[in-house]
Structure 1
Amino acid sequence: MTGSTSRTIAPASIFRTGLRLPEVRWALVALALFLLGWALQLADAPEWCWWTAYLACYATGGWDPARAGLAELADRRLDVDLLMIVAAVAAASIGQVFDGALLIVIFATSGALEVVVTQRTADSVTALLDLAPEQATLRATDGTTRVVNCRDLEVGEHILVRPGERVGADGVVVEGRSEVDQQAVTGESIPVSRAVGDDVLSGTVNGTGALVVEVRRPASESVIARIAALVAEASETKAPTQLFIEKVEQAYSVTVVIATLLVLGVPMVLSDSTFDEALLRAIVFMIVASPCAVVLSTMPPLLASIANAGRNGVLVKSAAVMEAVGRTTVVAFDKTGTLTEGRPEVVDVSAADDRTPDEVLALAATVEHPSEHPLGRAIVAAATARGLEVGAVEGFRALPGLGVTGIVGDQRVTVERADTPTAGTVVGVAVDDLVVGRIELVDRLRDEAVESVRRIRELTTEPVVLLTGDRHSVAAEVAEQTGIDAVHAELMPEDKVRAVRATRGHVLVVGDGINDAPALVAADTGIAMGRRGSDLAVQTADAIIARDDLAAVPALIGLSRLAHRYVVANLCIAATMIIALVTWDLAGTLPLPLAVAGHEGSTVLVALNGARLLRRSAWSGSRGAQST
């Protein structure tokens, strides 16, 4: 018996979901027939009446497990489901039809619950896709609008998002200002402000302002589509612990059959037990020794964790990855685009020669306007934000590795990068070879970088590492600001790989660029920043942070460790129940109904225990998890 989960299951939601599933319908029919047979038996109805009801219960509740078990047996695999059906039939053969029917009902009910939680995972993926609207308002270049299907939107087209509407595609705001509710996609509880230049995600809800959004990704590649695809793909994978359990399961099941035969035969040989007495004890032994709960101990917690992480904007590609993240002892960060925003911003403008800072910035923006360099775009953006007039430039020319130059009015304006020992970048602005001012730009740390590094230091046993191709001085300053302990700077991609391989312990690398991809592969676990990360980094990483929130890294480590504790707890529950019930059966007399309730109850318990990791508190609680 295996299963997967997707969210906390309330009784009402089980009923609504269950009615769509044949396993649940048959379990309900089996329960109704069992209750009918029990009522007839208590009412002293003719024996054939209640036997008929009980046998009908056998057929409705046991047909599918029996068919599946026989199919497995044909492939030379012994399925634990078949053991339960054999035990029920054997009970009926010695007149214990009530106990056998009770086993069928509880067994069918536990199987139905397993199917329900599996379906809830599928429903959560479908719900993610349902967040994306089917239609959007396309705005043409002449300002006219028309309604189109979101799946037909192409990169570069503009869509109008009115107040209260869902955003139809992943893109960037080109007009307007509003607040956007992203909770359903990213987990952010408070709507975020969005203006020109800010990213928006498909399926998020616009607030009170109108936005014009330029489409950056087709519908099939949106964050929602990627979350759904990766969660669905991850749900099909198995963790090493689960694979080990499944390997042991076959040998264990065969051992249970052999031991059951011994429990049947030995008492009749060594004592005066009758066949019926020995068979009843053997039936009870087969039931309580079966490993149903052990099989269900591993995957529900891991799959629930994957679904929870996906709901919070972290795409974990497999159950094996989710299990491995918790073993992390060393976290290594890339700098640009990972710890920092990856976009330079103007932080200071100084002026000389009787000019004002605004005049210096306007001159630089004018000559940088045709440039595609990130520094040039940042200067133009700063001038625009200040409401400065960006004029026309003639004779624009890029100076490779240095800057740009051009004619503004009747003066030659040159913007050149200056050497600086700080983490910032300083460019000089010169008019006819006379420096008239300087502009300082920095690649800002992400707001959550310092706190995320602090939490990671609490979770891991080794120092946090910085791997960057930037200068030593820049890397050292970023490390000091964030509290990172070990710095490796001026690295080529192959150098990052060597640094990762030289690091002892279970290494988790977080990066975003093409140059980070080799290190992501070399690490025990690689996590990519998904919003602005390169396609190569996203494809090679084991997990993706869809909204580029560094706080997700320690949260994911904590969630993985929490899932591991749930797995251990489940295995302890399952093993304790098996040992206790087997001991009771061999040393004393364990009633068959109690054996059924104990065995199937532990199976249901471990499945529902794993489903607890679907709660929102499991993600928020994992943020404070300590190392284990």
Structure 2
Amino acid sequence: MSSTLTRTAPPGVAREAAPRRRTRILALPEARWAGLALVLFAAALPLYLVGAPAWVWGPLFAGVYVTGGWEPGWEGLKALRERSLDVDLLMVVAALGAAAIGQVLDGALLIVIFATSGALEAVATARTADSVRGLLDLAPATATRLGDDGGEEVVATERLRVGDVLLVRPGERFGADGRVTEGASDVDQATITGEPLPVAKATGDEVFAGTLNGTGALRVVVERDPSDSVIARIVAMVEEASETKAPTQLFVERIEQRYSLGMVAATLALFVVPPAFGDDLRSALLRAMTFMIVASPCAVVLATMPPLLSAIANAGRHGVLVKSAVVMERLGQVDRVALDKTGTLTEGVPHVTDVRPLAGLSEDELLALAAAAEYSSEHPIARAVVGAARARDLVLPPVSDFVSTPGVGVAAVVDGRPVAVGSPARLADADQVGSPARLAHADHVAELEEKGRTAVVVEVDGVPAGVLGIADRLRPEASGAVAALGELTGAAPVLLTGDNPRAAAHLAREAGITDVRAGLLPQDKADAVTDLQSAGHKVLLVGDGVNDAPALATAHTGIAMGRAGSDLALDTADAVIVRDELDTVPAVVALSRRARRLVVQNLVIATVFITGLVIWDLAGNLPLPLGVAGHEGSTVIVGLNGLRLLTGAAWRRAMRLQAV
């Protein structure tokens, strides 16, 4: 039967997905309380602004204080029992102090800001934990173990031991790391190595837990305990890296403690000391509360957040999801970039790049024969060949007697002629090794493999009729993105890939990368990032697969490609390129650098205002309304300054990589 490829798409097999176990956002108490506080604040604000009676908006603001402030307040009190004072408790006290002197709106806004921040942090932590646990679902819960007598026994994978022999049927996942002792198949191990094509496995080849077997049955001897498999080590590495605190975070925590203690001590001194020398108690309380307001870090918080949140919103409108303000700030600090290959620099889908006919056939005739033979196959190479024929609007000849041999290729009778398509090594015929056709096809195979292509031989009537080159394609914007990242950081990006060295080197030359590290397993990628960071670099890692997750977690900042990215990579990464547009990576780095400059500007403004008002209050007699006006005025100024990054012009300038 003939078919026209423009009408019928080739068959395909959806990749097996690991089940997802998501923590519901509303199941987190931080999210529930923050949401309720936000709703109450939104209801109270318009009533307050239009001058409604206090008995109308008062209970709503009181609800904001209770719902948004009780949890950080309670945690702060528990910290006090351990002789530690944190800023969350200080903010609750400052909010209550503001309410005590009539500034109810200021206190409520402060409560909402901190409650929302805590909820977002809790959600991010829970989602990452879910994703790490979900990775373990890649490894099956049970495996088929063979006894000494050949009998089969289904056992839990955690009961497997080194030396056990497993039977892995077509379409099943491997329950443990091991080595093939019998059989041949193609194994999809993209979750571990990132290779875009299934890898042929035969006796003596290594296989990994969690990878997906193709169409052949394999016997595998277990070589590692399930708790020490590559998948298990990826989970451990991600968890360890996620729990590590950055030096900046540790520094901020030290500053928080000192600032909190100093502010509390100063407030108490202002309330206690003057009355001891005869001053009026009410005046002392008013001065202490004024100090609490003007010295509170509200302006500092808003000095930092608006530029970063504006940059996050702007990046989000253009397809870049940055998960937090901390991440947006860290993006501007990177000075070295490491890139994954498959699915990051490339499109992640194999394509026919070369058609080399022999034996008097034209390119279209060779491709039509190969596509007809491959049409019933589910292999990614088959889909690439059929897709290339479809692109040329070729009509396929009739096919019969289709046979697929795992690890070898396919064979069929096409228009009455026997056609075989597959690996050069597997299709080699010892009787014709020295024939002219064999020598010619061997030259083509060597040339294509030297260019990093996967060579596929097409035989017609038992004689080589041509060779097809298969490769993953570089993204159109990849070269420009690589050059822009090099210009921004002052150092050329590094390519980290699990693919073979020849394919990696060829693609790196196309992309303009000279530092290539190929054949890396997940822990090797993480080690490479660690080495770069040990040399003093702050590394940005861009990847998309499960195999990139440890490196994403280890890097100073990680970005995942969104469309084809694995669940773990998307959750582990600090930012996600939603539309897989690689040129947005240098743009968001440039935007982050501008946001950091605005943060510095705002901190200077906030510090000048706070310092001036505090000195006035301590050295003179700062009127409360003037103190509130100065405090809120500085907040408005830094807020408006930060909102400058919301404009489309800010993104366009970032895309041009201008020093803004």
Give the TM interval when normalised to the shorter protein.
0.5 to 0.7
Q: CA deviation at 1:257?
A: 4.2
Deviations 1:387-436, CA, capped at 9 Å, x for gaps: 22212333334465554333223322233442331133443433223333
Q: Which residue of 2 aligns with 1:259?
A: 266
Which shows bigger deviation, 594-603 or 467-476? 467-476
1:583 to 2:615 alignment: yes
Measured in 1, the distance between the counterparts of 2:395 and 2:621 equals 92
CA spacing shift, 1:535–1:439, aligned 2, 3 Å: same
Residue 529 of structure 1 is matched in structure 2 by: 561
SS in 2 for 1:473: helix
From the superposition, tell whether residues 113 and 609 of structure 1 become closer, same or farther in structure 2 (CA, over 3 Å). Answer: farther
CA 1:286–1:367 in structure 2 vs 1: closer, same or farther (change >3 Å)?
closer
1:476 correspondence with 2:482:
no
| CA displacement at 1:287 relative to structure 2 | 2.9
**Structure 2: distance between partners of 1:345 and 1:434:** 25
- 1:391 is matched with 397
Q: 2:579 corresponds to which letter in structure 1?
A: R
1:527-553 CA deviation, whole Å, 9 max, x = no partner?
332222344544544433232221232
Equivalent positions of 1:542-581 (< 5 A) are 542-581=574-613
From 419, 422, 427, give the equivalent of 2:446. 419
| Partner Cα separation in structure 2 for residue 74 and residue 519 of structure 1 | 38
C-alpha deviation, 1:451, in angstroms: 0.9
Q: How far does residue 484 in structure 1 lie from its aligned partner after superposition?
A: 1.2
| Cα deviations by residue, 1:65-102 (Å, 9 ceiling, x for unpaired) | 5995896687657544544654675xxxxxxxxxx55x
Change (3 A) 1:27 1:314: closer
Tell me, yes or no, if the aligned pair for 1:24 and 1:112 is still in contact at 8 Å. Answer: no
Q: 1:381 aligns with which of 379, 387, 398?
A: 387
Residues 249-281 of structure 1 deviation map (CA, whole Å, 9 limit, x = unaligned):
5653553343245446666778x9766766655
Deviations 1:473-532 (A, max 9, x none): 332222222111311123344433332332232222222334434433443333332222
Identity, % of aligned pairs? 48
Say whether the 8 Å CA contact 2:591–2:654 is kept in structure 1.
yes
Q: Give the alignment's TM-score, normalised by structure 1.
A: 0.62
Q: Tell me the distance in 1 between the aligned counterparts of 2:615 and 2:417.
A: 96
Calculate the aligned-residue CA RMSD, in Å.
4.4
CA drift at 1:593: 1.9
Is the aligned partner of 1:23 residue 2:55?
no
1:368 to 356, 374, 381: 374
Kindly provide the CA deviation profile for residues 41-73 of structure 1, in whole angstroms up to 9, marking residues without a partner as x.
xxxxxxxxxxxx9x9998987785599589668
On the 8 A contact 2:481/2:585 being kept in 1, the answer is yes
Letter in 1 for 2:389: A
CA distance in 2, matches of 1:402, 1:268: 93
Scaled by the length of structure 2, what TM-score is found?
Answer: 0.59
Work out whether residues 338 and 510 of structure 1, in 8 Å CA contact, stay in contact via their aligned partners in 2: yes
Q: 2:318 corresponds to which residue?
A: 312
Task: Give the conservation status (yes or no) of the 8 Å contact 1:340–1:445.
Answer: yes
Maintained 8 Å contact 1:301/1:610: yes
C-alpha deviations, 1:366-406, integer Å up to 9, x for none? Answer: 11212223222222112223222212333334465554333
Aligned to 1:288: 294
Q: Quick one: which of 524, 548, 568 aligns to 1:495?
A: 524
Deviates most, 275-284 or 350-359: 275-284
Partners of 1:287 and 1:450 in 2: CA distance: 53
Question: Contact between 2:99 and 2:107, CA under 8 Å: does it hold in 1?
Answer: no
State the distance in 2 between where 1:522 and 1:57 align: 48
SS of structure 1 residue aligned to 2:347 = strand
Q: Which amino acid aligns with 2:265?
A: I
- CA shift, 1:290, in A, is 2.3
- Shifted more, 462-471 versus 247-256: the winner is 247-256
Contact residue 265 and residue 278 of structure 1 kept, 8 A: yes
Determine if contact 2:344/2:543 at 8 Å carries over to the other structure: yes
Deviation at 1:247, TM superposition (A): 6.8
The DSSP-based 3-state class of the residue aligned with 2:396 is coil
Which of these residues, 541, 549, 552, is aligned with residue 509 of structure 1?
Answer: 541
Q: How many residues align?
A: 466
Shift of 1:445: 0.9
Relative distance call for 1:584 and 1:343 in structure 2 (3 A) is same
Q: Unaligned regions of 5+ residues in structure 2, if any?
A: 1-37, 121-244, 425-444
CA separation of 1:600 and 1:414: change in aligned 2, threshold 3 A: same
What letter matches 1:370 in structure 2? S
Task: Give structure 1 stretches of 5+ with no counterpart.
Answer: 1-19, 37-52, 90-99, 122-237
Confirm or deny: 8 A CA contact 1:246 1:295 kept in the other structure: no
Distance 1:25 1:412, change over 3 A: closer
Instruction: Give the secondary-structure state (helix, strand or coil) at the position aligned to 2:579.
Output: coil
Structure-2 change in CA distance of 1:388 and 1:277 (3 Å): closer
Equivalents in 1 of 2:58, 2:372: separation in Å?
83
- Of stretches 241-250 and 338-347 in structure 1, the one that deviates more from structure 2 is 241-250
Question: Counterparts of 2:58 and 2:250 in 1: how far apart (Å)?
Answer: 32
Aligned with 1:336 (options 317, 321, 342): 342
CA 1:117–1:572 in 2, change beyond 3 Å: closer, same or farther? farther
